[in-house]
A and B are shown apart, each in its own frame.
Chain A
């Protein structure tokens, strides 16, 4: 119940005109970002981050997280109306959403998408409200070895559970960790990997890399496609909204299942994309009439949207409680925390109560305001798509450059951004995943510090990572996850050996 009181306090922090205004601005910008091709959620947050540099941390995070909610809402609009997923996590929404729009039921599909998004986030926020304080108070007992073990667990689970080729995940992650080490070493003050360059002395800024990797590279990729589109922008009447909501209780199993999948995949590094597909596929499998999926069933919109939003929201749980982001966007928000001078991790709940509970309260409020906003303004946002990409692309480039420059006031960073843009373009095409790189770059220094502090504490003895039950089990779990594909295969073949003998 302590959480409840603190949450009310959080609402009190938020309910000022200034914060509410920032929230609306954030949501509108976010929907923009979600609707436009070539601008993703992580990228939108990264580009708009400089706007918040002069704000106080609470206003800043409220605005940024609202951009994120807006982007999650916005992705559904283009999927349903134009069969163009604005975001990768909206791909599954097109399967049934677009057929519905073609049958003249666009308003129903959009209402279903927005409502289920809202439900998904709500479940995830409830989880955060009650779980995050518990985890963080538990994590307060962590020393450097425990923290290093948790970082190790994060990295290993990416390699072991990711669907990309393993060596490509390892390449992406080790490159990120290496680039995080460029510049002045925080422990000894020595220069590393700068090759005498004054520009590299500052190190490679995480946000600059993200803007290049997700912003510039996305534009290069988008230009490869044919960018013509045709569709209808439907407005949503109150009657439609109410009729969809009336049917909502019929689908409670799907909604609950998708929320659960989303929360789980959001906390572990699976992400919203995997969650949306899994939500859709499971809804189809458990349906009495699986054949009808893909022909415009409203359930086929509910399932992926709920999962994607639950996952996108719950990705913030490990970031708040442990300082470990569960998604690319959470990693950027974490980068933001550092810019505003906050130290992410379990201490956040103790030292910056206003900030944390303001953020959690903004998740509730932002989703409610967002739902109302998208339901009432769909045609306006859909008509943004009339703006030709040839006008949008250079504006995105300029915004990226502004974002990259503003972080450290360095022209060099604009060039770095361009370089990362090319790297991102090539990596995406040869299927080297970018999420592990992002995560490694933002966590690299902290992981290294945790490792060195544990080594100093133990006098160079590696067994410190098994020195007590807690750290030992985390480290062991990490190593198990790293070799999970091998273990899985070994058990599979053991099982096959066993069964004929039994029969």
Chain B
């Protein structure tokens, strides 16, 4: 196929073809997990709840005026009122919307792929807390490349190591931006 193209349009020798495959792409016909309307209503309700919580806290702080002008809670309190109003209005609009009910929020195959990034990222944050950022980074990159991208193990390990080492040299050594570290770095005296 690409050859036909090249014949029809003579191209220079420096031309290079780029082909990238996606072995774990989500199927197009996967059923929807939920529609946009359900999520819109849920989020709007959560925002209204958040607005109520923040509004209450600001009311406790003081929403009136004293000798120095408006009290600390004045400005944010009225913002919570606006947020609550807009969210409740959003609930009503979303409940009435036919268009949103017909739109898929996420299909099952898409959700699986999103979770394939989200869960490792969550674990990465957790590992960072205990083993330091660089060890977590090495684990995340190598495992993700191997498991999600189906890339050869040696390539995954090598890429992860080179990237992590480059980050360490750039941030901790060259630019003096110190990252959280764990027992491994301590063993090397950092």
Whether A170 contacts B22 by the Cβ 8 Å rule is no
Name the CB-closest residue of B to A240. Answer: B12
Whether B151 contacts A174 by the Cβ 8 Å rule is no
Whether B117 contacts A171 by the Cβ 8 Å rule is no
What does the 1/0 interface line of A457-469 toward B look like (CB < 8 Å)? 0001000000000
Name the CB-closest residue of B to A234. Answer: B15
How distant is B94 from chain A, measured CB to nearest CB, in Å?
A: 8
Whether A397 contacts B133 by the Cβ 8 Å rule is no
Q: A167-B93, A178-B79, A220-B117 are in contact. Are A383 and B149 (CB under 8 A)?
A: no
Whether A394 contacts B18 by the Cβ 8 Å rule is no
Q: What B residues does A224 contact at CB under 8 A?
A: 26, 106, 110, 113-114
Q: Per DSSP, are chain A's interface residues mostly helix, strand or loop, or mixed?
A: helix
Name the CB-closest residue of A to B147. Answer: A390
Whether B177 contacts A50 by the Cβ 8 Å rule is yes
Whether B145 contacts A234 by the Cβ 8 Å rule is no
| Most B Cβ at <10 Å: residue of A168, A174, A394 | A394
What does the 1/0 interface line of A275-317 toward B look like (CB < 8 Å)? 0000000000000000000000000000000000000000000
In the A-B complex, the 8 residue pairs with the closest CB atoms? A390-B149, A104-B9, A456-B69, A226-B25, A174-B83, A185-B72, A394-B144, A170-B86
Whether A415 contacts B125 by the Cβ 8 Å rule is yes
Whether A401 contacts B128 by the Cβ 8 Å rule is yes
Interface: A393 (CB within 8 A): yes
Alpha-carbon distance between A53 and B174 when the two chains are bound, in angstroms: 12
Binding site for A on B (CB under 8 A): 2, 5, 8-12, 14-22, 25-26, 28, 36, 39-40, 43-44, 47, 50-51, 54, 57-58, 61-62, 65, 68-73, 75-76, 79-80, 82-83, 86-87, 89-90, 93, 105-106, 110, 113-114, 116-118, 120-122, 124-125, 128-129, 133, 137, 140-141, 144-145, 148-151, 159, 163-164, 167, 170-171, 175-180
Binding site for B on A (CB under 8 A): 50-51, 53-54, 81-82, 102-104, 165, 167-168, 170-171, 174-175, 177-178, 181, 185, 187-188, 190, 192-193, 195, 216, 219-220, 223-224, 226-235, 237, 379, 382-383, 385-386, 388-391, 393-395, 397-399, 401-402, 405-406, 409, 411, 414-415, 418, 421-422, 425-427, 429-430, 432, 448, 451-452, 455-456, 460
Q: What B residues does A399 contact at CB under 8 A?
A: 167
How distant is A48 from chain B, measured CB to nearest CB, in Å?
A: 11
Q: What A residues does B150 contact at CB under 8 A?
A: 390
Q: What B residues does A379 contact at CB under 8 A?
A: 14, 16
Contact with A397, one of B22, B105, B140 (Cβ below 8 angstroms): B140
Sample of 19 further A-B pairs with CB below 8 A, known A391-B141, A395-B141, A402-B167: A50-B177, A104-B10, A171-B47, A175-B50, A187-B69, A187-B72, A190-B62, A224-B113, A379-B14, A388-B20, A389-B22, A394-B120, A394-B141, A401-B137, A405-B180, A414-B128, A418-B125, A451-B75, A452-B69
Q: List 5 A-B contacts (CB under 8 A).
A: A50-B175, A170-B82, A170-B86, A171-B44, A402-B133
Contact with A234, one of B2, B11, B114 (Cβ below 8 angstroms): B11
Q: A235-B14, A398-B137, A414-B125 are in contact. Are A193 and B20 (CB under 8 A)?
A: no
Contact with A181, one of B12, B76, B128 (Cβ below 8 angstroms): B76
Name the CB-closest residue of B to A176. Answer: B79
Alpha-carbon distance between A113 and B122 when the two chains are bound, in angstroms: 40
Alpha-carbon distance between A228 and B26 when the two chains are bound, in angstroms: 11
Whether A192 contacts B76 by the Cβ 8 Å rule is yes
Alpha-carbon distance between A406 and B152 when the two chains are bound, in angstroms: 33
Alpha-carbon distance between A446 and B36 when the two chains are bound, in angstroms: 35
Q: What A residues does B36 contact at CB under 8 A?
A: 429-430
Alpha-carbon distance between A321 and B118 when the two chains are bound, in angstroms: 40
Whether B163 contacts A187 by the Cβ 8 Å rule is no
Name the CB-closest residue of B to A184. Answer: B72
Contact with B93, one of A165, A178, A190, A455 (Cβ below 8 angstroms): A165
Alpha-carbon distance between A255 and B68 when the two chains are bound, in angstroms: 54
Q: A228-B21, A398-B163 are in contact. Are A193 and B151 (CB under 8 A)?
A: no
Whether A232 contacts B171 by the Cβ 8 Å rule is no
How distant is B63 from chain A, measured CB to nearest CB, in Å?
A: 11
Q: What B residues does A177 contact at CB under 8 A?
A: 76, 79
Alpha-carbon distance between A460 and B65 when the two chains are bound, in angstroms: 8
Alpha-carbon distance between A347 and B151 when the two chains are bound, in angstroms: 54
Q: What B residues does A386 contact at CB under 8 A?
A: 18, 20
Alpha-carbon distance between A234 and B10 when the two chains are bound, in angstroms: 12
Whether A223 contacts B116 by the Cβ 8 Å rule is yes
Contact with A178, one of B2, B76, B148, B159 (Cβ below 8 angstroms): B76
Contact with B68, one of A178, A188, A382 (Cβ below 8 angstroms): A188
